[in-house]
Amino acid sequence: MNVFNQLSIWLSFQLSIIFLIGIPVTLSFWSIKKRNKAVNKLLSIYWKISTLFFISLLLLIGQYNFALVITNISTLLMTVSVWFWNDINDELREYDFSYSLTTTTKIWRWTVTFISLNFLIQSLKNINCFSFINSDACAIWLQPSSNLYIFIKNLFNFFFGANFTQPVAKFLGLFSLVIYILGLIQWSIIKLPKNGRNSYFSENGRN
């Protein structure tokens, strides 16, 4: 793996921290302060879907072979979740450029899309890592999760006086993945046919 590819992967993870976690946290508090139901609903849905991204980080810590596949699925689902809802999209289009909350939200949605596609492109360049993340050629994909592992391990030891190991991370990740899949199947079978692409963020229109 050449230096440019390593740098691109490292940068992808750094951008994900900012745009997949940092900015959504800011937008969530901002939408609550402004009492904007559309943006608040969009972010609440986003956080539910993005749980899979955090699960994938646990699986990367546990060096689960298919962790990178799950990471890509998670970013793709996160992208879908911010564009999917017709009522939210219609609401956001009604605001002009001067309304900073919705303008920032629109820019953020495009950024999430870019990061998701970038993750996929970077992964396809290292397609063997989809099924064998533990190979030497895939070590760069594990490096960001290794830093997270050290942080969680120290935090876990500080609060609980117990050792957080990679097998524990893998078990928690797989267990959480099963729960997530069951929840997604339930939503697809029950709620999606009933609600379609409407989030029903407000019964009274714009707030």
- Structural domain span for residue 94: 3-195
pLDDT score, position 203: 60
pLDDT score, position 33: 94
Q: Confirm whether 200 is domain-assigned.
A: no
pLDDT score, position 39: 95
Q: Confirm whether 144 is domain-assigned.
A: yes
Q: How far apart are CA 186 and CA 197, in angstroms?
A: 16
pLDDT score, position 206: 44
Query: Who contacts 153 (Cβ-Cβ below 8 Å, separation ≥6)?
Result: 163, 164
Nearest Cα neighbor of 45 from 207, 198, 174, 173 is: 198
pLDDT score, position 138: 83
Q: Confirm whether 201 is domain-assigned.
A: no
Q: Confirm whether 206 is domain-assigned.
A: no
Is-contact 116 79, C-beta < 8 A? yes
pTM summary value: 0.88
Q: Nearest 5°: phi and psi at 127?
A: -60, -25
Number of domains in the chain: 1
**Helix or strand or coil: residue 202?**
coil
Is-contact 102 43, C-beta < 8 A? no
Report, as ranges of residue numbers, the positions in the chain whose pLDDT lies below 70: 1-5, 147, 158-162, 203-207
Q: How far apart are CA 85 and CA 81, in angstroms?
A: 8
pLDDT score, position 161: 65
Q: Confirm whether 16 is domain-assigned.
A: yes
pLDDT score, position 165: 83
pLDDT score, position 56: 92
Q: Confirm whether 32 is domain-assigned.
A: yes
Q: How far apart are CA 48 and CA 85, in angstroms?
A: 15
Give CA angle at 52 (85, 169), nearest 5°. 170
pLDDT score, position 162: 67
Q: Confirm whether 204 is domain-assigned.
A: no
Q: Confirm whether 203 is domain-assigned.
A: no
